[in-house]
Structure 1
Amino acid sequence: MTPILAFSLGALTILVLAMIRPRYMGFLAQKPEDYAGSGPQFDLRKHLNGPILCEGVVYGPMGRVTSRFVADMEAHWEGNTGTMTEEFRYDSGATQSRSWTFTLGNDGHIRAEAPDVIGTAEGVQKGSGVQLQYRIKLPKDSGGHVLETTDWMYLMENGAIINRSQFRKFGIPVAELVATMRPKEAM
């Protein structure tokens, strides 16, 4: 084999591995079934209910923190239908509001809508985890891009929720969010 052919095959192998890695390893490889037997049991109606304080950071494509935020959230449920308002305050001084409407199926499947979500968010709660996938349109002052979003929320033993979200454009990660959420009365 010539050195050029060997280099080309090596580069091709690296490219193929880089493309299939997210599907089988890492953040996107998680499945709701991975958490089915774990506890405590995450129930959106119970754990995303009432006043909630959220604190988090947003990482840019190079892995550095690009923004910090604090959010006040308020969620209420009537049976399997819930609404949650979010009021974000960023370290830049910017603010953002969002209102979600959730529908929880008896089998743990979740459907959610918000004004900046394109179509309907789909997800599932199993064991201690909740996964939600959707397309979100960023505000114009943030570029107005449409990003594919995968949210994972993990319920902790003390009732706190750890949220990790990845945002992708054309399949390429462009941002990640990590946040904690906890009931305000527990503070």
Structure 2
Amino acid sequence: MKPVLILLVLLALAYVVKRQTLGFAAQHPRDYAGTTPVFDLRTHLNGPILSEGMIYGPTGRVASRFTAKMHGSWNGATGTLTEDFTYSTGTTQAREWTLTPGEEGRFTATAPDVIGTGTGQVSGATIRMHYRIRLPAESGGHVLSVTDWLYLTENGVIMNRSQMRKFGIKVAELVATLRPAP
């Protein structure tokens, strides 16, 4: 009787876990709909921005640290966000995003190293964005699926947490701050 009961409990638990994602992936924009301050792409991704962060590898250890000078500008409904990264190894990387707001907080995002078009959703004090990115050749040239979450804090600092996956397996995580530059 006990083995059957244990099996039933394990099957029920597996069903719940399968039906309900846990952790980072469990977040949804609607979870943050009423949060403030309200994230506005044109306001909070405008002008000079400083960023500092770390990238954690698949073992959970820091694989890289970086600083970035960013600049956001808007021409009508289209935004451009340039990012100039300097990694702790001394290597540099540049990226230029084109952001196009849509309806109900949705937006699209493109960049030269992004495969296709990324999609985003602004909700309350947050942004969630999904895209596929090709790593530089010196980093293996792999294509990773990325989920970015940006959280706007009361003092205007943006906390960024991103997970990168290959074949559905988490291979890296990024944690960074973005703040208006003086």
Q: Could you tell me the TM-score, scaled by structure 2's length? A: 0.91
The residue aligned with 2:39 is 42
- In structure 2, the gaps of 5 or more residues are none
* 2:146 paired residue among 140, 145, 149: 149
Task: Report whether the alignment pairs 1:68 with 2:59.
Answer: no
Equivalent position of 1:102 in the other structure: 99
Given residue 54 of structure 1, which amino acid in structure 2 is its aligned partner? S
**Alpha-carbon contact 1:131-1:153 (below 8 Å) kept:** yes
State the superposition RMSD in angstroms: 2.4
**Does the aligned pair in 2 maintain the 1:80–1:105 contact within 8 Å?**
no
In the alignment, structure 1 residue 20 sits paired with structure 2 residue 27: no
Runs of 4+ in 1 over 6 A off after TM superposition: none
Q: Which residue of 2 aligns with 1:126?
A: 123
Question: Partner of 1:55 in structure 2?
Answer: 52
Letter aligned with residue 170 of structure 1: F
Shift of 1:24: 1.8
Identity fraction in percent: 59
Once the two structures are TM-superposed, the CA of residue 6 in structure 1 deviates from its matched residue by: 10
Q: C-alpha distance in 2, partners of 1:77/1:152?
A: 22
Unaligned segments of structure 1, at least 5 residues: none
State the match for 2:86 in structure 1.
89
Amino acid in the other structure paired with 2:165? R
- 3-state DSSP class of the match of 1:24? coil
